[in-house]
Structure 1
Amino acid sequence: MSLRKRADGGEQPSTLGFLKLRIPFVHYKLELPDILQGAILCVVPLSISGLMTSVLGIPFEVAVAFVVINNFLFMLHGHFGDPAVSGWITAGIPLYVAFLSGYPEGDARILALVALQLTVAAVFFAMGLFKGADVLVRKMLMSLKAGILIGAGFSAVMTEFSDTGRVWSMPITILLGATLGFFMLFSRTAAPLRERYPMFRFIAQYGIAVPFLIAYVFGILIGEVQAPSLQWGWVSLPFGEMLDSYTVFGLGWPSYQYFLDALPLALAAYVIAFGDVLVIDSLFKNADKVRKDEKLVFSPRRNSIIAGIRNLFHGLCAPFISLSGPSWTGGQALVVNRYMNNDRKAMDSYWGGANSIYWGMSIALLLLPVVSLFKPGLNIGLALTLLIQGYLCGYLAVEMLGKGSNLQRGVAVIVGAILATKGAAWGLGAGLILWLVLERDWLAGDSRTASGAAEPAGSE
């Protein structure tokens, strides 16, 4: 099989028409830097296993099996026409934990999570099949869009720096990793260093993988991180125990009351997830300005349908506490940054990077030496991801508001603050009220055009 070439400025080749199936070595090249980066960053998905064990009472080995399934499902996006580097609905994790903690430990919490995940799947399907996601991206008021991004950014950073946040579990290690990671990805100094020094360019292409490794080793040396205990072989995946003890096939179907309880949180989770859709849309617009050789087509509708499929599968076969969302913001930034900082010769297609990062991560999760090596660094990986998410959400919101008015900026800040402290439903409600009271000109008609709702580049 040989790689199918694209015309300059066109879309990467695919097959199966609307499904846009892309197969490795046929429709995209595997990218070694992204494979290695994904293998190292397997600590990020592994980090959720701690919550799976503490909140749901799932044994670590079963939690890892859930993580492996979750990771392979991520690849549905990149192989069926959605350029998103998919992920969880991360900013809402504290809300899901609080919801589940309201049920007795044991089967009740598992059933509550099943109901929540299936309800979230239904919301994603509804928004995708009836084009609600496309409409929201095009028509949502700028102040609400920016406010959601600000709130998601605040939530991510506040979670890490709260009294019980991950930063304080190993402060020197995590802050060192964050400083190096931010420098590699976003510093003004890093760009000219890439141009001048081939060695720095080689290191920088691995994104936050190198900062993570440096921080991890340093943390072990200063005693903040426990030294790993290497184990050999393959990771055990007890699928039989998982299906019998932690899914509807063994526990039965949740009662309707579970679904009623889950509905408000499912809607709030979608609002939070919509912030990731806005981030993806903005990042791809920026990438299109730099890489003229390839056209990236992002469809919020397609993204929502695939996210719905992932949540449906998890809800039935492997309930997952972080839910399945449109994008892993940190990973999205890594791939887009490498794509923008290289030409076609160095990185032929965006799709190679977006898919390779998950090939590397998913395979690494099956290797017991890799999992045992990085297990003590789980908090570092998740903390770096959330801090990068906070930064991206913040700068994209400010960039968006640069085209708006002072009224929109003020409303966005209030929406973001309320969303971060009281949840998505409160934030969105406050935003709609403030738009009605402040932004809408009741004497001159609908002020929607003044809200600057932008058309997404290349949406289908």
Structure 2
Amino acid sequence: MSLQKRPTGGEQPSILGALKFRVPFVHYKLEIPDMLQGAILCVVPLSITALMTSVLGIPFEIAVAFVLLNNFLYLVHSHFGDPAVAGWITAGIPLYIAFLSGYPEGDARILALIALQLAVAVIFLGLGIFKGADALVRKMPTSLKSGILIGAGISAVMGEFAADGRVWTMPVTILTGAILGFFMLFSETAGPLRARYGFFRFVAQYGIAVPFLIAYIFGIIIGEVTPPQIEWGFTTIPFTEIVRDYSVFGLGLPPLEYFIDAIPLALAAYIIAFGDILVMDSLFKNADGVRKDEKLIFSPRRNSIIVGIRNFLHGIFAPFISLSGPGWTGGQVLVINRYMNNPRSVMDSYWGGATSIYWGMTIAIILVPVVTLFKPGLNIGMALTLLIQGYLCGYLAIEMLSRQTNLERGVAIIVGSVLATKGAAWGLGIGLVLWFVLEKNWFAKVYKATHDEAPDEDSGH
């Protein structure tokens, strides 16, 4: 098999028409830096196992199998024409825990999660199939878009620095990793260093993987991180046990009242996820402006349909407590930064990076020695991811508001503040009220019609 080449400025080759299916080594080549980065960052998806065991009572080995299934579904995006580096609906995790905690431990909580995940699937599929996602991205007022991003950014950072946040579980380790990660990705100094020194350019292409490793080793040395206990073998997926104990085929469909209870939270989860769609839309537009040799097309509709399918499959077979979302902001910026900072001769296509990061991560999760090696560092990986998400949301929101009025900026700040402190439903609801009351000019058409009909004094009439 030989790699198909694209014309300069065109889309990467694919098959199956509108499905845009891409095959490894035929339509993209594997990118070793992104694969290694994904392998190291397997700590991020594995960190959700702590909640699956404590909230849902799922054994650790089964929880790891759930994560492996989740990772395979991520690859559907990059293999069927959606450039997103997919992820969870992360910012809503505290809301999901509160919702599930209202049910008795055991099967009731599993059924409640199934109801929530299927409700989220219906929302994403409905908006995707009927083109609602594209319309939302295009027509939503800028003040609401940027307000959602501000709120998501503040929520991500607040959660890490809260009294029970991850930062305080190992403060020196996590803050060391955060400083190094931010320096590698965003520092004004890092760009010239990449351009001048080959070694720094080599290290920088691994994004936050190197800062994570440095922080992890440093944490073990200073005693904040427990040394790992390596085990051997391969991660298996016990399908029979999963179907019997955690799927609708073993437990049955949730009662109707479970679905009714889940609808408000499902809507809130979509509102939160919508912020990730806005982030990706902005990132891909920026990338298109930098890399003129390749055309990237991000369709919120396609993304929403695939997210809906992922949530549906999880809801039926293996309910996942973080839900399935449009994008993993931390991983997205790692791939897109490397893509923008390298010429075609170094990174041929964006699709190689977007797929390789999850091939590397998935292979790492299959290897039990890798899982047990990084198990003590799960909090570090999750904290770095959320802090980067907060930074990205913040600067993209400010960029959106740079050409807007003070009125729109003020509405955006209020929306973001309410969303971060009271939740997504409150934030969007207040944002819509402010838009109707403050931004929407209800008399614009009347004024224009009156003005157009008024006689022209200079015309002599």
- Give the equivalent residue in structure 2 for 1:355: 355
- Give the equivalent residue in structure 2 for 1:68: 68
- Give the equivalent residue in structure 1 for 2:30: 30
How far apart, CA to CA, are the structure 2 residues paired with 1:446 and 1:137? 28
CA apart distance, 1:445: 4.3
How far apart, CA to CA, are the structure 1 residues paired with 2:204 and 2:10? 27
Structure 2: 5+ residue runs without aligned partners?
448-461
Q: Deviations over 1:205-245 (max 9, x none)?
A: 00000000000000000000000011111124322211111
Tell me if the contact between 1:115 and 1:258 (Cα under 8 Å) persists in the aligned partners: yes
How far apart, CA to CA, are the structure 1 residues paired with 2:366 and 2:405? 51
- Give the equivalent residue in structure 2 for 1:209: 209
Q: How does 1:224-243 map to 2 (within 5 A)?
A: 224-243=224-243
How far apart, CA to CA, are the structure 2 residues paired with 1:118 and 1:223? 43
Letter in 2 for 1:442: W
TM-score normalised per structure 2: 0.96
Tell me if the contact between 1:128 and 1:301 (Cα under 8 Å) persists in the aligned partners: yes
Letter in 2 for 1:391: Y
- Give the equivalent residue in structure 2 for 1:249: 249
State the SS of the aligned residue for 1:191. Answer: helix
- Give the equivalent residue in structure 1 for 2:182: 182
Q: Deviations over 1:372-401 (max 9, x none)?
A: 000000000000000000000000000000
Q: Deviations over 1:426-453 (max 9, x none)?
A: 0001001111121122332499xxxxxx
- Give the equivalent residue in structure 2 for 1:141: 141
- Give the equivalent residue in structure 2 for 1:301: 301
CA apart distance, 1:34: 0.2
How far apart, CA to CA, are the structure 1 residues paired with 2:418 and 2:446? 25
Q: Deviations over 1:320-378 (max 9, x none)?
A: 00000000000000000000000000000000000000000001000011000000000
Q: Deviations over 1:12-31 (max 9, x none)?
A: 00000000000100000100
- Give the equivalent residue in structure 1 for 2:52: 52
TM-score normalised per structure 1: 0.96
Q: How does 1:295-334 map to 2 (within 5 A)?
A: 295-334=295-334
- Give the equivalent residue in structure 2 for 1:453: none
- Give the equivalent residue in structure 2 for 1:339: 339
Q: How does 1:282-301 map to 2 (within 5 A)?
A: 282-301=282-301
Q: Deviations over 1:71-98 (max 9, x none)?
A: 0000000000000000000011011011
How far apart, CA to CA, are the structure 2 residues paired with 1:310 and 1:119? 12
How far apart, CA to CA, are the structure 2 residues paired with 1:218 and 1:104? 41
How far apart, CA to CA, are the structure 2 residues paired with 1:31 and 1:390? 27
Q: Deviations over 1:154-195 (max 9, x none)?
A: 111111111110000000000000000000001111000000
Tell me if the contact between 1:440 and 1:446 (Cα under 8 Å) persists in the aligned partners: no
Tell me if the contact between 1:216 and 1:380 (Cα under 8 Å) persists in the aligned partners: yes
Taking structure 1 as reference, are residues 401 and 333 closer, same or farther at Cα in structure 2, changes over 3 Å only? Answer: same
Is 1:221 aligned to residue 221 of structure 2?
yes
Letter in 1 for 2:116: L
- Give the equivalent residue in structure 2 for 1:458: none
Letter in 2 for 1:79: H
- Give the equivalent residue in structure 2 for 1:365: 365
How far apart, CA to CA, are the structure 1 residues paired with 2:445 and 2:69? 51
Tell me if the contact between 1:9 and 1:292 (Cα under 8 Å) persists in the aligned partners: yes
Is 1:88 aligned to residue 88 of structure 2?
yes
- Give the equivalent residue in structure 2 for 1:451: none
How far apart, CA to CA, are the structure 1 residues paired with 2:302 and 2:379? 32
How far apart, CA to CA, are the structure 1 residues paired with 2:438 and 2:302? 34
Letter in 2 for 1:210: V
Is 1:97 aligned to residue 97 of structure 2?
yes
- Give the equivalent residue in structure 1 for 2:3: 3
How far apart, CA to CA, are the structure 1 residues paired with 2:421 and 2:305? 29
How far apart, CA to CA, are the structure 1 residues paired with 2:184 and 2:193? 10
- Give the equivalent residue in structure 1 for 2:200: 200
How far apart, CA to CA, are the structure 1 residues paired with 2:375 and 2:446? 54
State the SS of the aligned residue for 1:365. Answer: helix
How far apart, CA to CA, are the structure 2 residues paired with 1:321 and 1:89? 10
Is 1:17 aligned to residue 48 of structure 2?
no
How far apart, CA to CA, are the structure 2 residues paired with 1:306 and 1:133? 12
Tell me if the contact between 1:92 and 1:269 (Cα under 8 Å) persists in the aligned partners: yes
- Give the equivalent residue in structure 2 for 1:270: 270
- Give the equivalent residue in structure 2 for 1:455: none
Letter in 1 for 2:7: A
Letter in 2 for 1:147: G
- Give the equivalent residue in structure 1 for 2:458: none
CA apart distance, 1:151: 0.7
For the pair shown, the structure with the greater C-alpha radius of gyration is: 2
Letter in 2 for 1:222: I
State the SS of the aligned residue for 1:217. Answer: helix
Q: Could you tell which deviates more after superposition, 229-238 or 320-329?
A: 229-238
Tell me if the contact between 1:128 and 1:304 (Cα under 8 Å) persists in the aligned partners: yes
State the SS of the aligned residue for 1:15. Answer: coil
CA apart distance, 1:270: 0.4
Taking structure 1 as reference, are residues 437 and 320 closer, same or farther at Cα in structure 2, changes over 3 Å only? Answer: same
Taking structure 1 as reference, are residues 243 and 199 closer, same or farther at Cα in structure 2, changes over 3 Å only? Answer: same
How far apart, CA to CA, are the structure 2 residues paired with 1:442 and 1:25? 56
Tell me if the contact between 1:9 and 1:293 (Cα under 8 Å) persists in the aligned partners: yes
- Give the equivalent residue in structure 1 for 2:455: none
How far apart, CA to CA, are the structure 2 residues paired with 1:154 and 1:105? 32
Letter in 2 for 1:40: I
- Give the equivalent residue in structure 2 for 1:454: none
How far apart, CA to CA, are the structure 2 residues paired with 1:57 and 1:35? 32
Q: Could you tell which deviates more after superposition, 248-257 or 8-17?
A: 248-257
State the SS of the aligned residue for 2:233. Answer: coil
Structure 1: 5+ residue runs without aligned partners?
448-460
How far apart, CA to CA, are the structure 2 residues paired with 1:440 and 1:300? 26
Q: Could you tell which deviates more after superposition, 432-441 or 57-66?
A: 432-441
Letter in 1 for 2:276: D
- State the superposition RMSD in angstroms: 1.0
How far apart, CA to CA, are the structure 2 residues paired with 1:7 and 1:202? 28
Letter in 2 for 1:358: Y
Q: Deviations over 1:237-283 (max 9, x none)?
A: 32221111111111111011000000000011001000000000000
